[in-house]
Amino acid sequence: MSDPAPVEAAHASPKKRLLVVDDALIMRAIIKDIAIKAGWEIAGEAGSGAECVARYRELRPDLVTLDIVMPEMDGVEALRQLRREDPAARVVMVTAIDQRAKLSECIQLGALDFVVKPFDKQRLTSMLVQYGS
């Protein structure tokens, strides 16, 4: 008699994969922790816009959390490049309170949503649950 576990595993839905992009290591750690608790797999992380674009090409995650203010290439330009290369790219912007003006540009470029730092963990969790289903 065969073991039923492989059959059950074959029917289990795979975890959604997240790319976490922020130049602050502590912010990446916080977002990763919340995402894992919300049932996401961390596909990778990046500390700049340029690294984000390269990691996205490599990993093709289901969702990206993308900080706006970063070195080398900011989040707005990274979003622009991601959406140009993959119009189906799903991105949630992460921003400080004083960067709200850039959010309208990000939404016009195709960002799904945004969260303001310091963010409410429940808001980020709710967003991840919503976009993970």
State the pLDDT at residue 15.
Answer: 87
Give the whole-angstrom CA distance, residue 80 versus residue 102: 13
pTM (global) more than 0.85: yes
Give the whole-angstrom CA distance, residue 2 versus residue 42: 33
- Half-sphere exposure of residue 104, counting CA atoms within 13 Å on the CB side? 1
Q: Residue type at 2?
A: S
Helices (H), 1-133: 5-11, 25-37, 49-59, 75-85, 100-108, 121-132
Summarised one tens digit per residue, pLDDT across range 52-87 is 999 999 999 999 999 999 988 999 999 999 999 999
- What domains are there in the chain, each with its CATH number? 31-132 (3.40.50.2300)
Contact between 66 and 113 under an 8 Å Cβ cutoff? The reply is no
Q: For 36-57, what is the mean pLDDT?
A: 97
Confidence of residue 9 (pLDDT cuts 50, 70, 90): very low
State the pLDDT at residue 10.
Answer: 43
